[in-house]
Amino acid sequence: METMDRRGFLQASALFGGAAALAGLAGCAPAATKEQDLSSTGASEPESWDAEYDFVVVGGGCGVFGALLAAHSGAKVALVEKGATYGGTMALSGNGMWVPNNKLMSSYCTGEDEFNTADTDADLPAAVDYALSCDPFGTADPELAKDYIYNIAPVVEHLGDTFGIEYGSIAMTDYYMLPGAKNGRAIGFAKDGTNTGISTFATIIEPLVQQYGIEVMLNTEATQLCTDATGAVTGVIVSGKNGAQSLKAAKGVLLNTGGFEHNEQMVADYLRGPILGCSSVQTNTGDGHRMAAAVGAAFGNMASCWGVPFYKTNDDSVTANLCDWMTWRYGDHSIIVNSAGHRFGDESAAYAPANLDFYRYDSKTYGLPNIPGFHIGDQSFVSIYGYPGVSMGDSAATTGAQQDGLPEWVKTYDSLEELAADNGIDAEALVDEVNRWNAFCDAGVDEDFGRDANRWTETFFYMHDEQNPKLGKIDTPPYFCATIVPGTCGTNGGIKVNVDAQAIDLDGNVIPGLYASGNCSAAYFGSAYPGGGTTVGGGVYRACRAANHAFGLGIV
């Protein structure tokens, strides 16, 4: 699929547990191949297997850690990857993990207040309460959230000890300014004392995959799970360069196939609103969801995604729009408004909660008035933060000629009234809002959204030393405007699992032999993103739990 269809307003949320929804996905399953013997007992095993393994991992992102633990135990492991390279969206990320009570906190946190004090075992109940309070829709699973928070640190430590993996602190605080939030819980993979970030797969993971003899099948799509007469999953059908093949998995299949953000029908059916930007790999089309539905798996959190605001740079492709993890929109001397000319949230909020601001429904207009939003700044903003296409050095002395060098999606105006007219914004309301903002800057307090009190940006975001770098006035023309919209780095609803990452059915019973991790499984914390690295940390931990259970490793 090249792009997602950007419908005006996608269907409202449809939590993915109903029989009709399940029937719809199961109906997408491919017909049996000639090699398969579908008996009247419901078994779907082939008469003979093309290849036999102990463990088959489908999707080579976070699931690779399940593959590594299985292979380390002596198992024969296959890693099936739909793409030309494995790693998925994880390989494109900074590879941080949210790890409460990690050992690096004690050397990183200053101890000056509770927010900057390292976790101890006694802090874990408060960390659980914090994470659950971040979910506004009540879709988090308290049992799984507690299991993750209590056990992620020792599991990460076990990976380090087993595979010689180093870790380093990431200068980032928790994302929600709620009781129990802290600094120092985000860590990343490291080598020789330096965080490896986006190069983690190349420098750490790929050498380990080779060392432990994991068979990697690239450009190979999994199409159907195989089950025996009892309903247990015993293998998987894949399609690659050698055509359709049946792979036996004596100890289980781990689905780690990513989300469904590049499946336009699933996006329309399940997400609570439009996603107009996407930074994940385009192989994330809900394959694991479909296969699991066909064997009776239950699903949860299907209306949610890992939200990130995007600058609208392209009208035809959501994947061409520009993700703003925290690059420009938080900067002082700028605000974000809707077409009514009003701010609608704390611009410096972490990307996940900031993204939810776009979906606020208005019963007066019967729509989502915050889509699109408009990021508006003045010359001071551009001089400090720049935009893509303007280097930081040149932007400090921006001239008319250098303004012409701005990308097309950043527009320049001599007045706020001109800016409003060109972008369909209420001009009078915008001028009033900017005046209100400037008064907040003079007072040092954002009375509407508390931007001055948001601590998560205190680590490495602000680039200058003004008295209050979060509240710069907008009063120095020219003025700049960029359209900003809701987006995602992946959906986070999917297969429901227990603490051992075993898939469960609609009655809450385990589906033997089937495990799920990463974004094809329902996220631990529902719609929440408690801190940097929650996505990767959750996927890595769940993959480890799967291997731990399948092979009785005794890690947790």
Q: Is residue 530 within 8 Å of 524, Cβ to Cβ?
A: no
Q: Hey, what amino acid is at 161?
A: D
Burial class (CB in 10 A: 0-12, 13-18, 19+), 186: buried
Q: b/e for 336-375, b at 16 or more Cβ within 10 A? A: bbbbebbbbbbbbbbbbbbbbbbbeeeeeeeebbbbbbbb
Tokens 């903003």: give the residue: 381
The answer on pLDDT for 18 being more than 50 is no
Largest CA distance in the chain: 77
pLDDT score recorded for residue 478:
95
Average pLDDT value for residue range 193-206: 95
Average pLDDT value for residue range 363-383: 94
The answer on pLDDT for 153 being more than 80 is yes
Specify which residues 52 forms β-bridges with: 248
Residue 331 banded pLDDT, cuts 50, 70, 90: confident
Average pLDDT value for residue range 271-286: 95
Q: What is the 3-state secondary structure (H, E, C) of 374-424?
A: EEEECHHHHHHHCCCCCCHHHHCCCCHHHHCCCCCCEEEECCHHHHHHHHC
pLDDT in tens, 387-426: 775 544 444 444 444 455 678 899 999 999 999 999 999 9
Q: Hey, what amino acid is at 302?
A: M
The answer on pLDDT for 437 being more than 50 is yes
* Omega within 30 of 0 (cis) for the link into 372: yes
Average pLDDT value for residue range 341-359: 95
- Nearest CA among 81, 71, 62 for reference residue 251: 71
pLDDT score recorded for residue 360:
95
CA-based R_g, the chain, Å: 24
Burial class (CB in 10 A: 0-12, 13-18, 19+), 223: middle
Residue 365 CA to residue 361 CA, distance in Å, equals 9
Q: Considering the chain, what percentage of its residues have pLDDT values greater than 90?
A: 77
Residue 386 banded pLDDT, cuts 50, 70, 90: confident
Q: Is residue 291 within 8 Å of 255, Cβ to Cβ?
A: yes
pLDDT in tens, 85-127: 999 999 999 999 999 999 999 998 989 899 999 999 999 999 9
Q: Is residue 226 within 8 Å of 32, Cβ to Cβ?
A: no
pLDDT score recorded for residue 172:
86
pLDDT score recorded for residue 125:
98
At 543, list the tokens. Answer: 């993959």
Residue 469 banded pLDDT, cuts 50, 70, 90: confident
- Nearest CA among 407, 404, 342 for reference residue 373: 342
Which range among 11-15, 133-137, 259-263 shows the weakest confidence by mean pLDDT?
11-15
The more confidently predicted of residues 158 and 32 is: 158
The answer on pLDDT for 305 being more than 90 is yes
pLDDT in tens, 42-81: 468 999 999 999 999 999 999 999 999 999 999 999 999 9
Specify which residues 323 forms β-bridges with: 310
Residue 529 CA to residue 540 CA, distance in Å, equals 16
Average pLDDT value for residue range 359-368: 95
- Nearest CA among 218, 204, 296, 276 for reference residue 540: 204
The answer on pLDDT for 131 being more than 80 is yes
